[in-house]
Amino acid sequence: MDRTLANFIRALRNSEVRISTAETLDAFNAVELVGYKDRAFLKRSLSIVLPKTADEKETFDNCFDQFFSIDDIRGETESAAADADEEHGDAEGGDGEGGGAGGDPDQQSRGANAASNNKKKKSKGALSAAEEAEEPDLGPGEMSEAASNLGQLLLLDSRVELTVAMAAAGEAVDLIEIQVFTQKGLYTRRIMEQMGLVDLNREISTLRDSDRVPDRRLGQELRRRRDWLREQIRDYVEKQFLLHADASGKRLREELLRKVKLSNVEHRSFRLIQEIVYKMAKRLSSLHSRRKKVFKRGQLNITRTLRKNMSYDGAIFDLQWKSVKIDRPKVFAICDVSGSVANYARFMLMFLYSLEDVMPKVRSFAFSSDLAEVTDLFDRNSIEDAIAKTLRDYGGGSTDYGQALQDFKKLCLDDIDNRTTIIILGDARNNYGDPRTDIMKELYDRCKRLIWLNPEPRSSWTVGDAEMRKYTAYCHQADECNSLMHLERVVGNLLRSVN
């Protein structure tokens, strides 16, 4: 029982619903209270306990439907009753097929199959004789109690409990480990066996030979339900495959993308990258965005001071201040979008954009030779538009760091003080122009931190027209940054120092 829920939670986590251990415990308590019998009720209850945002609730709905899906057994059996004859024939064929699929890799199951198939064969003669002698369908009426566990479960008509049993069996045969599509037949067979197929088959054939009508009726019913169950399990395995194998595939892809160089990422992965960057930004911001409320200085908050000092007999010595927000940008980010970094520019801008999301006060600048502020542009447009517009307006030209630094100095040197962090994203390839290290020095002296993120590997920082060596002297920190992993590390460090 509980393993089913644990598996479900695992599947939820795979689809990126964040569930803590405490919430898992809550879910167990809720299930204990609610039970597995009423599917809709269970869904409603779990949707209150587990997902905690509107987004997550949607994911949860899908996940739940996939995980606990199983067609209504009643409807199925009714339709089955209509063409019972056909069903009987199909059942035999289906059985053989299942045995074949499951048989080859697994010796044990082959043995079991053979045994059950033999039994069937033996009883087949008797069955056809019996069937000719009586009506094919015995119709509704008195029925004996099923003896085998699986038989009893099938007759219960509770699809959720059946799903639970199915899931438990799936757990026992390590269904979660399913990795390739072709394993589905094998796992279906294994689950059937785990749930007690052998016993059920034996019971069905015994019932068939019975003299009592209720027994035979039960036998027919059980056969129908067994076949139905097989279908259900096949579906179940397929869905589990989608749930587990697919999710781990996605994670693998993400993992890979984080490590691969940004310039090598194929175009079709851009969307995924964007997703990762956004997720990263969000996580970082939730880690670091603590609002600070108490300030050391400001306007005296008289009411609060009096209240606070009442406990000191009215002697005012614990002063309370009205908070004052310091309206000064804390981060200046300068991004090179020239031809030499064309491959990276997109990602640099993406980074810049997410940076604005993450950090409270960011002013962004872009340049190839002339530098301009793009903060507003980023504010007003969606990420795609902002990046496209920036690249259109400023991108593609030849690099002139000297000019860019000159512009930057003119634009906002006055705004830079000892609480400012400057980030420069670029390859420092200056086409042998004047690097204007004097401006760099000026910036370096004024600001709190100057960080240079270079997409090129450290080894080529001094090769050709790269001025990185000169610039490094005036940086507090100079890092290689060309994959999402680098980016995450850098931003993480940055936030720690900025906040």
Partner 1 sequence: MTEAPADIEKITASVEALKADFEDHSYICSDQIATAVYLAYHLRKPILIEGPPGVGKTELAKTTAEMFELPLIRLQCYEGLDEAKAIYEWKYGKQLLYIQVLKEALGEVLQGAKGFAQSVSRLHEFGDIFFSEEFLEPRPLLKALKEEDGCVLLIDEVDKSDHEFESLLLEMLSEFQVSIPEIGTVKATREPPIVFLTSNNAREISDALKRRCLHLYIPFPDVEMEQRIIHARVPEIPPKLRKQLVNFIQELRDLDLKKVPAISETIDWARTLLLLHTESLDPQLVRDTLNVILKFQEDIENVDAEISTLTSKAMK
Interface positions with partner 1 (CB under 8 A): 18, 20, 22-23, 26, 29-30, 33-34, 40-41, 44-45, 47-49, 51-54, 57, 286, 290-291, 293, 307, 310-311, 313
When the beta carbons of 63 and 80 are compared against partner 1, the nearer one is 63
With b meaning 16 or more CB within 10 Å and e meaning fewer, what string describes 50-87? bbeeeebeeebeebbebbbebeebeebeeebbeebeeb
SS3 category, 88? helix
When the beta carbons of 323 and 497 are compared against partner 1, the nearer one is 323
Sheet of 421-425, strands arranged across: 371-373, 362-367, 331-336, 421-425, 449-454, 477-480
Q: What's the token pair of residue 187? A: 């796992």
Helix (H) or strand (E) holding 370: none
Q: What's the token pair of residue 274? A: 């964007």
Backbone phi and psi for residue 83, each to the nearest 5 degrees, phi listed first: -120, 65
- Nearest-approach distance from CB 23 to partner 1, in angstroms: 6
When the beta carbons of 16 and 97 are compared against partner 1, the nearer one is 16
- Nearest-approach distance from CB 156 to partner 1, in angstroms: 21
SS3 category, 178? coil
Longest dimension (CA), the chain: 106
- Nearest-approach distance from CB 311 to partner 1, in angstroms: 6
When the beta carbons of 38 and 209 are compared against partner 1, the nearer one is 38
When the beta carbons of 311 and 459 are compared against partner 1, the nearer one is 311
- Nearest-approach distance from CB 323 to partner 1, in angstroms: 9
When the beta carbons of 181 and 312 are compared against partner 1, the nearer one is 312
Q: What's the token pair of residue 265? A: 């990422």
Specify the long-range contacts of residues 75-79, CB closer than 8 Å, at least 24 apart.
76/228, 77/221, 77/224, 77/225, 77/228
- Nearest-approach distance from CB 43 to partner 1, in angstroms: 9
When the beta carbons of 57 and 448 are compared against partner 1, the nearer one is 57
For 146, half-sphere exposure in the C-beta direction (CA atoms, 13 angstrom radius) is 25
Backbone phi and psi for residue 461, each to the nearest 5 degrees, phi listed first: -65, -25
When the beta carbons of 30 and 81 are compared against partner 1, the nearer one is 30
- Nearest-approach distance from CB 293 to partner 1, in angstroms: 6
- Nearest-approach distance from CB 304 to partner 1, in angstroms: 9
CA 95 to CA 192: how far, in whole Å? 11
CA 68 to CA 8: how far, in whole Å? 9
Q: Which class for 118: exposed (0-12), middle (13-18), buried (19 or more C-beta within 10 A)?
A: exposed
Running DSSP on this structure, what letter comes out for residue 454? E
- Nearest-approach distance from CB 359 to partner 1, in angstroms: 16
- Nearest-approach distance from CB 306 to partner 1, in angstroms: 10
When the beta carbons of 55 and 385 are compared against partner 1, the nearer one is 55
Q: Which class for 345: exposed (0-12), middle (13-18), buried (19 or more C-beta within 10 A)?
A: buried
- Nearest-approach distance from CB 28 to partner 1, in angstroms: 10
When the beta carbons of 21 and 108 are compared against partner 1, the nearer one is 21
CA 126 to CA 208: how far, in whole Å? 8
- Nearest-approach distance from CB 26 to partner 1, in angstroms: 7
Note whether 277 and 354 are within 8 A (CB): yes
When the beta carbons of 126 and 310 are compared against partner 1, the nearer one is 310
